[in-house]
Structure 1
Amino acid sequence: MSTRLLLATRNGKKLEELRRILLKRGLGEIEVLGLSDVDEFPEAPETAATFEENALAKAHDAAMATGLPAVADDSGLSVDALNGMPGVLSARWAGEHGADEANLRLVLAQLRDTPDERRGAAFVCAAALVVPDREEAVVRGEWRGTIIREPRGANGFGYDPIFVPEGEQRTSAELAPAEKDSTSHRGRALRALLPHVRNLTQV
């Protein structure tokens, strides 16, 4: 019987990313579920000051509501010239949660007069695992790069089309999914969480 793991998201791309990472690390027997696969429960708003606190709160809510081991992440874009913002406000930077195009355009407008050498940024992801009555773990992954002036690419979501990772000429939205898994902030955070996830199969 497979071990079930709830990823507290309705984002299909995040679900597929975690499934690919688990399969690559020999954990393909773990069945990854999303929020659409379980009964609805009240989800607390993301109001904490850090990615880590938000991720842990989401994972805790999901685990307590379903009884399943739950992973949650909180991620965003930290722009040097904006003093680390949008940060935890990345998903609602333009005012409406999940308005990717509006968020992206607002960041570009705020950086319009910023010279290329000062357009450094990082994608940040905190990932948390909560196993009911057993364990809580939180890890962090960062992906450094720069913000370009016009979007490029159709892969990914959010700010991917304007973020060029260090050592790359392509944006995050121009990378193939497997390439992104191996280097991205979320990929790094999820891989750092794998030792804790692996324990689920050893009970």
Structure 2
Amino acid sequence: MTLYFITGNKHKFSEAKQIFPEIEQLDIDLIEIQSMDPKEIIAAKLQEALKQCPGPLFCEDVSLSISAFQGFPGPLVKFWNKSGSNQERVQRVHTQPDHSTKVVCTIGYSDGKEMHFFEGVVNGRIVMPRAASDFGFDPIFEVSGTGKTYAEMSLTEKNKCSHRYLALLELKKFLEKSKT
């Protein structure tokens, strides 16, 4: 049975394809509720997606929690990404002494009957833009212990430490365990 990743984002699909070579992308418009609870957002996306595709399928949502802003923007990261250039966003963060940031990818999976959730968490900090990328906060998020932003990494490098990769691995373990 085909596993569908509900996303219109080619970058996200490319990352997921490295872990699940057999997945198919399903680019459907979903109403995305606004909430500070990623699981609530994902559950609503899954319910909407299941109306158009019986499953099995998964979708994801990313939160960017900046310590200096008490965890903001959290799951509202898409709006934050549109609030000016990377340079402008970094300058806002750098008005505060603490630049530490946590990125969380929450994946929701449904087989058409039940929903399951998986998380991948990566710690880092917001830095001045380094390397060109049109993928969200990749040029300004430096992963702890690497000295590199996501944008400075190859896809293979990024997939060894990214929040999405870690969440996808949890999904993969779950699916493999479910087969037995």
Counterpart residue type for residue 126 of structure 1? T
CA shift, 1:181, in A, is 1.0
Correspondence for 1:60 among 47, 53, 57 = 47
| 1:129 equivalent in structure 2 | 109
CA contact (8 A) 2:87 2:129 kept: no
| 2:75 equivalent in structure 1 | 88
- Structure 1 residues 44-53 or 178-187, which shifts more? 44-53
| 1:111 equivalent in structure 2 | 93
**In structure 2, C-alpha distance between the alignment counterparts of 1:108 and 1:31, rounded to whole Å:** 35
Deviations 1:75-110 (A, max 9, x none): 02110010001111110126xxxx3x7263453232
CA shift, 1:125, in A, is 0.9
In structure 2, the CA distance between the partners of 1:199 and 1:4, relative to structure 1 (3 Å rule), is: farther
In structure 2, the CA distance between the partners of 1:106 and 1:124, relative to structure 1 (3 Å rule), is: farther
| Mapped pair 1:172 → 2:150 | yes
CA contact (8 A) 1:63 1:131 kept: no
In structure 2, the CA distance between the partners of 1:62 and 1:14, relative to structure 1 (3 Å rule), is: same
CA contact (8 A) 2:34 2:76 kept: no
In structure 2, the CA distance between the partners of 1:171 and 1:114, relative to structure 1 (3 Å rule), is: same
Name whichever structure is richer in helix by fraction.
Answer: 1
CA contact (8 A) 1:93 1:103 kept: no
SS in 2 for 1:102: coil
CA shift, 1:65, in A, is 1.8
TM-score, length of structure 2 as denominator length: 0.89
Correspondence for 1:31 among 14, 17, 23 = 23
Q: Which runs of 5+ in 2 are unaligned?
A: none
SS in 1 for 2:95: coil
**In structure 2, C-alpha distance between the alignment counterparts of 1:56 and 1:178, rounded to whole Å:** 30
Deviations 1:136-195 (A, max 9, x none): 1001111001111x2111346111111111111111110111111111111111111113
| Mapped pair 1:146 → 2:133 | no
Identity in percent: 27
CA contact (8 A) 1:64 1:132 kept: no
| 1:6 equivalent in structure 2 | 4
| 1:25 equivalent in structure 2 | none
**In structure 2, C-alpha distance between the alignment counterparts of 1:103 and 1:8, rounded to whole Å:** 27
CA contact (8 A) 2:110 2:116 kept: yes
Counterpart residue type for residue 90 of structure 1? V
CA contact (8 A) 2:36 2:76 kept: no
